Chains A and B, each alone.
Chain A
Amino acid sequence: MPTDLEPSSPEPVATAPLPTQVVVDATYSLPGIAFCCAAGEPPTTIYAGLSDFAIHRIDTAAEKPQPIRLGEASHDSYVTGLVRAGDRLISGGYDGALIWWNAADGEQLRRIETAHDKWIRGLAITPDATRLVSVADDMRTKVWDVATGEQIADWGDHEVKTPQGYPSMLYAVALSSDGQWLATGDKTGEVLVREFSGAAGSIVARLQTPVMYTWDPRARNHSIGGIRSLAFSNDGQSLAIGGMGKVNNIDHLEGPSRLEIFDWQAGVKLHEIEDTQFKGLVEALRFAPDDRWLIAAGGDHSGFVSIYEVGEGKLLAQSKTGSHVHDISLAPDATSLVTVGHQQATKVLL
């Protein structure tokens, strides 16, 4: 899940060498499926939203990190979006609710019970932590005042149904690091980019990634796929879009993991990258601080972390991570990251 919360390094270090390896350093087990995560303070503290409807905290710097449940409150369904705003966390879930937490003691500070009519799929927060964006399967994109919980905007514009007449889904959301642009991506492979500053929300670009959506009209008569992750480069020029390529047997996540990178303002697709070795969905994307490489993570039954050089779209290194990865948290110095996913979290060194 894209949760664009780490403030980017203001001065990219252009001379930093490209990473050459992806190494799983440690694996921690989790009491459920983690769909989202956010780094705390210090950034070695990771918060994760789980299938047990709760938030858990893991101190990855500890000798034997153990997930500890945060507070008493919980969602009424899977927790699928999590961002940090200073000393607070905000979570969203399949219950359509948003919850503000005290990151330190887990106290529930605010709860919006029906933020959306359907399942919340992701959250994003502006760099100044004043605005929260949520996307959900009601196909609405909503903007919230982080301080007051007030709803500031509510946009539709994504098709509610797929071309075949089934409910569509709005999986992915990302904000640019300067808070100026907002991207949202849906099941059928459409990305809308809005001018976000001032929350005017006018649509400035529409990008199509139809390969991300596999409709099987003949053998199985349903679909799989969708845009599962989005990330702006730190300079705001490029937009990376993650999902899965065409799938033959849609019973399984056995399609190639797929990544498309756009010069979104020009509407030009820079790269299409498919990986048939490490298959499945690209669930999370992050650009390196200098924008020269990016991380794509996800998986099928098992998970992967891959790093690509952005200029050529070339694979630099990759590794399996055990089970499916749903989200990552990249360390500020971009030398390590934490993945969270199916029953486990891992610490990965680059």
Chain B
Amino acid sequence: MKLIFEKSVKARDGYSLPKDLFDEVNTKDCIPEYAVSDSKKVLSEVSEVDVIRHFTKLSKFNYGVDDGLYPLGSCTMKYNPKVTEKLASLDNFIYAHPLAPEETVQGCLELMYDLNKLLCEVTGVDQYTMAPAAGAHGELTGVLIMRQHFVDHDDKRHKLLVPDSAHGTNPASATMGGFKMIELKSNERGTVDIRRLEELMDEDTAGLMLNDPNTVGLYDEGMQDIESIVHGKGGLLYYDGANLNASFEIVRPGDAGFDIVHLNLHKTFSTPHGGGGPGSGIIGVKEFLIPYLPTPIVAFDGEKYYFSDVGEKSIGRVRAFWGNFLVLIKSYAWILSMGPDGLRNVSETSVINANYVLAKLKKYYRPAYDRYCGHECVLTGRDYKKYGIKTLDIAKRLMDYGFHPPTIYFPHFEPYAEETIMVEPPESESKEVIDEFIDAMIKISNEAKTNPDLLTGAPHNTRIRRVDDVLAVKRPILNYGDELKLKDELKYKDEDINF
């Protein structure tokens, strides 16, 4: 598609400004000579109509949840309610300045206060910080809370256990938080290897970061042992909330011994992913860890809501202001729409959906572990290697059937979880949609054997064909300026850019 810069026409404009530009104020009195730009910065010159058509066209090259099934494992791509979008765009919220006097933002503060109470009840902890902007941001916050807790107790723990099945963000967060990451290998059932945990969990180790269900989609049957081993050595248990969708009213992480609980409001609590964000990756803790939370938290004195400083033991701030407030509104509204029965229904339905997919497809795509799963199941494409088919090809072929592919190649650990296809059909997917997906997957398994070219050349029906990501690394073009410098080498024809 043409870039906005290629649609630019000299002297065309798309802005609207007041007539009064304070022309009597001398520019030289505003900007000192040393700061005057050498030249005007060239952006683009397009009209509002051009902009609307350009971005409308761009949007049509995207696939969203409203287009159909988006079964990305560990991403919980559920339906995003429309009413919550409207409620998050009320004037009194979007025009609220984050440093406006507290008496003018009682609504914002009440909402954050109430949301905290609801989430504490749902997850079994005592206090949340609303600051973290995304999952990894929450992880960093959680790991820093661990670090601060041990510093405060004059305890020099420097290692942190992370299972091999963890998200890439977990190991990176452990490092960013100043710990040496120790990988904990899973056992042959896909869960924490208790013997190995016993060996590794020592008094130099701060604790364990864990998903439950874990990234292979399995509830950990050893949770009781895990809890007593980690706590027995004075360590802390960190809950990665990526998979909470399987647990509403079934098991609360706080009750299962987790001290620090992370939630992804943009997964479990229905707020949209926005093509990569904004999300909200808030962190809840048990009472003894409240003094280490990022400052401040919202408090209530019986009459008014106010920001309360956490105190000198706080890890400090992890961002400016208070949190991704608009995302908080949406998740709050979603919880109120669901109620306790609705929340339970979410988990029941998503667990049934995933097990249904597993039951129907395990003949065709050998599962990483053949046992009941939580809200996602991990299949593999390893039996198709002999036909020259990679899991990537299966994923790309699914696009031709009108589906977004599941998560592929993650988790990855041999010998069980390789060539993985992690399917998460959230509660908002009907049986009919799931059946269509299952049919497509079965058709693809046949095609892999009878007509593998169909897969290796896929996708065929999408607006663009398979993308060369190796070339992107070999010859980096990271903005339009880079492209212009390589113009002679690239030699784009009109049909290459105008489609």
Specify whether A and B are partners.
no
| B→A interface (CB under 8 Å) | none
